[in-house]
Amino acid sequence: MDVIEVWSGRYACLLQSALRLTNEAFANQLGIAVRTVATWHSDPVVVPRAEMQQLLDAAHEKAPDAARRRFALLAARESGGGATDSGTPAAQALRVAISVVVRQGDVLLVCRREDDASGITWQFPAGVIKPGTKPEIAAVRETLDETGVHCAVRRILGSRLHPVTGVLCEYFLCEYLAGEATNSDAVENVDVMWVPRNSVTRFIDADTIFPPILVALEEQT
């Protein structure tokens, strides 16, 4: 997809993800308020006004080739979740909801079980977004199923193609409500634990963490 006829909040957020920019950096590049970018995340179907459409057109046209390719892939995956001409649901690209759950000074992490010990990695709780399920609901439900922790979505952090897996990920900043962190999915996970926010990069390679997550964690301190 090389041309966007009408930008929506959703496509604007996909462009932000393709450019790998935080809300603040994306707003600064466009010359708009950060709250406008936040509105696009909270209301994906909103259609920005005409002058904003032009700013998004310019940002897309000036984007590096790699970013344009990422955006095209994200947009193609997004549009692939509709219905076919016959009215039957089209195949949906794999999407994953990822929860960044904070509790005072800590963040909830899970240790995935891989085929061999060297593949065990720490990650944020995550789960596949099933067709017809809102990402926010999937994030809360999967966190509970994996860890026994009840949480509530505080805000959307954005979406991107994961640099390692290539899966389309939807990220949510969540607040802890109740529950003891336990490994409730021993088939997929080895362990579950709370770690200090400033120690997250000791468990997860900083280069693979979605930048808005690090910004959000800094804001919590």
What range does the domain containing 35 cover?
9-79
| Whether residues 61 and 106 fall in one domain | no
In a domain, 3, yes or no: no
Q: Residue-wise pLDDT tens for the chain (221 aa)? A: 456 778 888 889 999 999 999 888 898 999 998 888 888 887 777 788 888 889 999 999 999 988 888 888 888 776 654 443 434 333 345 688 999 999 988 999 999 876 444 456 899 998 888 878 899 999 999 999 999 999 999 999 998 887 776 678 899 999 999 999 999 877 778 899 999 998 999 998 888 899 999 999 888 65
| Whether residues 54 and 14 fall in one domain | yes
| Whether residues 114 and 213 fall in one domain | yes
pTM over 0.85: no
The CATH number covering residue 114 comes to: 3.90.79.10
Beta strands at 95-103 and 168-178: parallel, antiparallel or unpaired: parallel
DSSP line for 118-150: GG-EEE--EEE--TT--HHHHHHHHHHHHHS-E
In a domain, 170, yes or no: yes
| Whether residues 103 and 206 fall in one domain | yes
Domain count along the chain: 2
Beta strands at 121-123 and 95-103: parallel, antiparallel or unpaired: unpaired
| Whether residues 125 and 194 fall in one domain | yes
- Give the pLDDT of residue 77: 74
